[in-house]
Amino acid sequence: MTTVTITEAPLAIEDLLAVVGGARVQLDGGTRVRIAASRAVVDRALADGEAVYGLTTQVGHGKDTRLTEEQIGGEQRFLVMSHIGGIGPPLPTEVVRAALAVRLNGIARGGSGAGVAAAEILAAMLNAGVHPVVPETASVGAADIGQMAGMAQVAIGMGRAEYRGNVLPGGEALRRAGIAPLVLGGKDGLALISANGVSVGQAALVASRAAAAAEAADTAAALSMEATGANTSVLRPAVGQAKPIPGQVAAADHLRALLAGSPLLEPGGARSVQDALSFRVVPQVHGALREYIAAARSAVTIELNAAADNPLVSVPDQALVSNGNFQPVVLAIAHDALRIALAQVGQLSERRMSHLWDTFFRELATGLPPGVAYGLQLRYPAAALFPELRQLAAPASLDTPPLDLGVEDHGTSAPLSVRKTGAAVGMLGDLLAIELILARDVLAAAPTGPVLGAGTGAALRMVEQAIATADPRPDAVHRALRDRFPAPPAVGHAKTQRD
**Per-residue model confidence as pLDDT tens digits over 94-137:** 999 999 999 999 999 999 999 999 999 999 999 999 999 999 99
CA distance 63 to 406: 13
Torsion of CA 299, 300, 301, 306, to 10 degrees: 90
First and final CA of the chain: distance in angstroms?
Answer: 12
Side-chain-side CA neighbours of 136 within 13 Å: the count stands at: 12
Mean pLDDT rounded to a whole number for the chain: 91
CB atoms within 10 A of CB 215: 16
- Bridge partners (DSSP) of residue 50 are none
Predicted local confidence at residue 298, as pLDDT = 98
Cβ contacts of 448 within 8 Å, gap of 6 or more: none
Contact 374, 390 (CB under 8 A): no
pLDDT in tens, 458-487: 999 999 988 888 888 888 888 888 887 775
Burial class (CB in 10 A: 0-12, 13-18, 19+), 362: exposed
Predicted local confidence at residue 495, as pLDDT = 31
Using CA atoms, how far residue 211 sits from 179, 201, 329, 487, in Å, is 37, 16, 22, 10
Torsion of CA 226, 230, 235, 238, to 10 degrees: 150
Q: Cα 345 to chain center, whole Å?
A: 18
Structural domains of the chain, with CATH: 3-195 (1.10.275.10), 201-482 (1.20.200.10)
Phi, psi dihedrals of residue 105, rounded to the nearest 5°: -70, -35
Top-confidence residue, 69 or 289: 289
pLDDT confidence bin for 263, thresholds 50/70/90: very high
pLDDT in tens, 288-339: 999 999 999 999 999 999 999 999 999 999 999 999 999 999 999 999 999 9
Nearest partner of 110 among 191, 185, 47, judged by Cα: 191
Burial class (CB in 10 A: 0-12, 13-18, 19+), 406: exposed
Helix extents (H) in 305-413: 329-358, 374-392
Its pTM surpasses 0.85: yes
Helix extents (H) in 229-281: 237-242, 246-258, 277-280
Nearest partner of 199 among 253, 114, 140, judged by Cα: 140
Given a cut of 70, is residue 21 above it in pLDDT?
yes
Predicted local confidence at residue 314, as pLDDT = 95
CB contact burial 72-91 (16+ within 10 A = b; e otherwise): eeebbbebbbebbebeeebb
CA distance 447 to 435: 21
| H/E segment holding residue 10 | none
pLDDT confidence bin for 369, thresholds 50/70/90: low
